A = this chain, B = another copy of it.
């Protein structure tokens, strides 16, 4: 950058010369069975930073905003590139723009959050530089990514109570017990099976199929199907979630 002779104007022209960089990142959640209990818990994939700043620390997948994509498309594309994942649900989380998020240059990050099905999560290849972590056992992450994940978790728990979100962590067909497990994993508390079933059948957007899940050592549970909208609408606007209380 070349300096002007005028000191007073120097700051201004420097600022104008170097606008804040725009980045897109995504917090991706998936449900995987925990090693210990076997019950499903929340996991998320992180990528290792291969350069400064924060070299060798883990960070959210992301990158600069590609010019040809809308914000949401850029998030989806970047997800595909870095982790190979195609999310089932993708929504904007927040724009983080604090002054000192990155030591060198000012970076404004528009962060998305996504849900992928467990089956997808299985497929996602781990590598030297991409690894899955339990959402409640992250170490220190690069930048302000710990805060970002915390906020994404808060948002996920909040949306969960609106009832239309849990299905995006499951496959096409699922039992009510599986939905309940999602709730228990995300909200981190037990839910009464009978009462949960009652509420789901009232409000939520599911319909019974005529299939049953065989193989357990018990009465085979009925499989259900999600009938709501699949929220990876690649539209430019925000996703308005109805306050259909669960």
Contacts and interface: CB of A to CB of B under 8 A. Distances in A.
Interface of A: 12, 15-16, 19-22, 65-71, 92, 94-99, 101, 106, 108, 110, 147, 151, 154, 158, 161, 236-238, 240, 243
A94 B97 contact: no
B67 A154 contact: no
Given A19-B19, A151-B240, 18 more contacts: A16-B67, A16-B68, A19-B21, A19-B65, A20-B65, A65-B97, A65-B108, A69-B99, A95-B110, A96-B236, A96-B237, A97-B110, A98-B236, A108-B110, A147-B237, A151-B237, A151-B238, A154-B240
Among all A-B residue pairs, the 9 with the closest Cβ atoms: A98-B236, A71-B97, A15-B67, A95-B95, A94-B238, A95-B110, A16-B67, A70-B98, A151-B238
Nearest to A71: B97
Contacts of A237: 96, 147, 151
A13 to B, nearest CB: 10
Contact of A108 (B71, B101, B147): B71
Identical subunits present: 2
Nearest to A94: B238
A85 B158 CA distance: 32
Contacts of A151: 237-238, 240
Contact of A94 (B65, B92, B108, B154): B92
Nearest to A14: B67
Contacts of A110: 95, 97, 108, 110
A20 B65 CA distance: 9
A222 B67 CA distance: 57
A236 B3 CA distance: 14
A240 B151 CA distance: 8
A95 B98 contact: no
Contacts of A70: 97-99
16 contacts: A15-B66, A19-B65, A19-B67, A22-B22, A69-B99, A70-B97, A70-B98, A71-B95, A71-B98, A92-B94, A95-B110, A96-B236, A96-B237, A99-B236, A108-B110, A147-B237
A92 to B, nearest CB: 6
A21 to B, nearest CB: 7
A206 B237 CA distance: 35
